[in-house]
Each structure stands twice: as C-alpha cells, then as structure tokens.
Amino acid sequence: MMRHVLLALSMRPAIGRWMERVPATRRLVRRFVAGASAEDALVVLEGLNARGLMGAVTYLGENVATPADAERATQTYLHLLDEIKRRNLNVLPSLKLTHLGLDLGQQVCVANLSAVLERARATGTRVWVDMESSVYTDRTLALYARLRPLNSHLGCVVQAYLRRTPTDLERLIDVGATVRLCKGAYREPPAIAYPDKRDVDRAYRRLIDRLLAPDALARGVYTGFATHDDRMLAHVRDRVRERRLAGGRFEIQMLYGIRPELPTRLTGDGLPVRVLVSFGEDWYGYFMRRLAERPANVLFFFKNLARS
Ligand SMILES: Cc1cc2nc3c(=O)[nH]c(=O)nc-3n(C[C@H](O)[C@H](O)[C@H](O)COP(=O)(O)OP(=O)(O)OC[C@H]3O[C@@H](n4cnc5c(N)ncnc54)[C@H](O)[C@@H]3O)c2cc1C
C-alpha cells in the first residue's frame, strides 16, 4: 500500500519542489544521491575504486520535454566518459533513454545514444541502458538491439516483476547480451507485473538460473545481478559454486547509499561488485522510488522532519 502511494507521488514533481526546501529531505536525499554536480559523483566514484569496488554513474533525469534538455544530458554523459578516461576510473555510465529524449521520438534518442556509444567506444568504456516503466520496454529493447552493434558491450536491463521478462530474456540470451537483472522499481498494473513480492522473488531466482545456465554462458551472456537482497545474493553464490564459474561472467550491482557496508563485505568474499552512484538536481523520481522500496526510509524521513 505504502509502496503504491510513494510510487504514485513519484510522478508529481511539484511535491519534489516543495521537499527541496526542507533541510531534512536534503539530508536524506544525500544518503542516496552523491550531489548536484558530476564532480560530486566522480569524487565518490574515485573513493569506491580505491576500495576495490567498480562504479557506475547516472546523471539523474527522465522524460525530458525538449531536445535541448536531451542534448544537455548527452553532453553530461560525454563529459563523464572523458573524465572516466582522464582519471583512469573503473566506472561506466548507466543512463535512461527518456533522459536522452525517447519521448521526443526515436530519432532524437538514437542520435544522442549513438554519440554516447561512439565516445564510450573511443574511451574503451561499457555503457548500460536502464529499464524504465513498462510503457518503454518495447522501445528500449528495440533500440538496444539496433545500437548494440555500435558497442558490443552495451548492457540492457530486465525486470523480474514483469510477466513478459522470461520471453524477452530468451531473445537477449540468443545474442549473448550483457544484462542487468533487477526486481523492478516502477508502479505497474497486476496484468503486467507481479503485485506480490514473493512472486517477484521467485521470478528473480528463476532468472538467475537462466542467466547462469551453461547455454547462456556459452553464448557469451554477462550478467549484473542488481540487488541488495541477501536471499537473491545467496542464490547467485549457490549457482556460481555449483557451476564452478570463473570470474568475468557476472558481477553484483548495488545502489549507492543502500546497505553501504555490503559491497565491501562481498568483495572481501571474492565477488566482483559495482556500485551505481547517482547525481544531479533532478533527484525527485529516483529518491521516491528508493523510499518506496523500504518503508523504514519514510519513517526516518518523518523523524528528521519532526526534529528539524
Ligand atoms: C545497480 C542497480 C541498478 C538498477 N537499475 C534499475 C533499472 O534500470 N530499472 C528498474 O526498474 N530498477 C532498477 N533498479 C532498482 C531495482 O529494480 C529495485 O527496485 C531495487 O534494487 C530494490 O530491490 P532489491 O533487489 O534490493 O530487493 P528488495 O527486496 O527491495 O530489498 C532487499 C533488501 O535491501 C535493502 N533495501 C532495498 N532497497 C532499499 C532502500 N531503498 N533503502 C534502504 N534499504 C533498501 C533492504 O534491507 C531490503 O530488505 C536497480 C537497482 C540496482 C541495485
């Protein structure tokens, strides 16, 4: 119930503008968002690399309304790629297609994503394309298939909560894709996504098994298991151990600020871990999705609000 309310509120940016004026919100936002500028994120990413963790970076923003906004997002990713190269960081961009102009038409988005992929190829960096709400699933997968030849390490995302995902995944396995498996963070109708968390968890486990199956690995599939859930992580470990998988076939991915002690513990156990760091002024939708994932965050927010 709480999750649905928060996800519905995440579509109301006016609330974000009000929240911006509340110091308690700013403090909580800082837990999940590195700061307003690319430099804020790069400093955090340097620190993560120094601790043996790989990084990913997202410039926050989605559903831009003008080509100029999409262009600004594209230029920011080009700048990030240059800085990643200059600072010799083990970091890749993870971006949203609606930030690069998908709502403005395929042409705008293809031109912007192509520019990012060209620069990524020149700087030897992999790029991951996030998955947004189900309104965009077909278009995102179609663009992924179209542009992957520009950067064979282009990654895409599948969401375990979507009923369609097993079918989509078979197509991605056929081409030996680089895939992030996440549970899914948007508000979706029950006809499209499992409403019960237990079904989502069951689906996630089945998809782990599929992504680490011998035929998927033989085709070159590489997976980022994006989760903070101990039970999902244990399932990955079990399969890796059973199948005696060497490194280079998968990684664990987590979001900056969520269970911050966990990435170091997992690298200590020999698992490759990447932490995704977000930055930017447009934090509202991202922040509300993080609140929706854990009611305790809402409690923390209101306690701070009362205190301030
Ligand atoms: C690297 C990365 C990339 C992602 N990319 C996408 C994407 O492209 N598209 C998409 O739809 N979703 C994406 N997500 C979000 C994902 O779909 C989930 O919403 C999110 O990861 C929470 O699911 P979980 O697997 O951690 O499991 P959950 O069952 O939600 O959480 C497991 C445990 O993790 C901790 N936890 C989880 N979330 C929080 C939080 N917000 N605050 C504090 N503790 C928390 C709690 O201890 C919780 O018990 C991404 C997640 C990660 C880690």
Whose CA is closest to atom 24 on ligand 1?
227
Whose CA is closest to atom 5 on ligand 1?
130
Look at residues 193, 258, 270 and name the one whose alpha carbon lies nearest to residue 227: 258
Does a structural domain hold residue 25? Answer: no
Which pLDDT does position 241 carry in this prediction? 92
Does a structural domain hold residue 123? Answer: yes
Say whether 171 is catalytic.
no
Q: Ligand 1: which residues within 6 Å by Cβ?
A: 130-131, 157, 159, 182-186, 226-229, 232, 253-255, 258-259, 276, 290, 293-294, 297
Which pLDDT does position 304 carry in this prediction? 63
> For residues 88 and 91, what is the distance between their CA atoms, to the nearest angstrom?
9
Does a structural domain hold residue 217? Answer: yes
> For residues 92 and 85, what is the distance between their CA atoms, to the nearest angstrom?
10
* pLDDT tens-digit map of 190-230: 999 999 999 999 999 999 999 999 999 999 999 999 999 99
DSSP calls for 118-169: HHHHHHT---EE----GGGHHHHHHHHHHHGGG-TT-EEEEETTBTTHHHHH
Catalytic pick among 119, 126, 148, 180: 180
The SS3 assignment for 223 reads strand
53 is written with which tokens?
């963790």
Number of domains in the chain: 1
* pLDDT tens-digit map of 212-222: 999 999 999 99
Does a structural domain hold residue 149? Answer: yes
Is the predicted pLDDT of residue 162 greater than 90, yes or no? yes
The SS3 assignment for 254 reads strand
Whose CA is closest to atom 33 on ligand 1?
229
Q: Residue 196 Cα, ligand 1 centroid: separation in angstroms? A: 16
Is the predicted pLDDT of residue 184 greater than 60, yes or no? yes
Say whether 130 is catalytic.
yes
Q: Residue 125 Cα, ligand 1 centroid: separation in angstroms? A: 24
The CA-to-CA distance between both ends of the chain, in Å, stands at 27
194-198: long-range contacts (C-beta < 8 A, 24 or more apart)? 194/161, 194/163
| 183: CATH | 3.20.20.220
Index of the ligand 1 atom closest to the CA of residue 229: 32
* pLDDT tens-digit map of 95-105: 999 999 999 99
Does a structural domain hold residue 63? Answer: yes
Is the predicted pLDDT of residue 308 greater than 60, yes or no? no
Index of the ligand 1 atom closest to the CA of residue 182: 17
Does a structural domain hold residue 156? Answer: yes
Q: Residue 192 Cα, ligand 1 centroid: separation in angstroms? A: 19
Place of tokens 């932490």: 275
pLDDT band for position 134 (50/70/90)? very high
Does a structural domain hold residue 20? Answer: no
pLDDT band for position 293 (50/70/90)? confident
Domain enclosing residue 219, as ranges:
34-282
Which pLDDT does position 106 carry in this prediction? 92
Which pLDDT does position 29 carry in this prediction? 80
* pLDDT tens-digit map of 258-280: 999 999 999 998 999 999 999 99
* Global pTM value: 0.92
Does a structural domain hold residue 308? Answer: no
